[in-house]
Structure 1
């Protein structure tokens, strides 16, 4: 074998290795994107479930929808909403960007 043939074999070998690595990276990226998309879809369904439960709690305590910023809110309502938020905490953090401070109990 001459030098040109060895060089060609080395280049082709490196190209094949590079193509294999690139394929591997692309597959991993596609799998990651698919997992993220599926999680976003689950979070969206879970969010609307959360919203319906939140609305029902609000209707239970304020059926006439009269509360506003100046209204004193019952502790039982706050407790139920806090429990609901804690139940949906992972989704609220992923989907809405809530942080740990959003879940702190400020009633004490």
Structure 2
């Protein structure tokens, strides 16, 4: 099935195919993002350096600014990015611990 841009969809099947395609792309992008968490866990010298509240706030504000410029709901993006960053921190802590115990 051809994936149409959202504004060109005229059936729910087209909408669902587009959403499914975007979800596949988002998962691939999240894999790339978490690859950076793997690198951070390898690079940071201490476990206590994993959580960086100033950086977390910066990442969320960057996402909100981009969302607003794109016409997306800023509150929803703020919550989504907060959850994403928290999941990234948890993942990075697990990777850090795994690397330390493996050494």
TM range (shorter): 0.3 to 0.5
Structure with greater Cα Rg: 1
Q: Which TM-score applies when normalising by structure 2?
A: 0.42
TM-score, normalised with respect to structure 1: 0.40
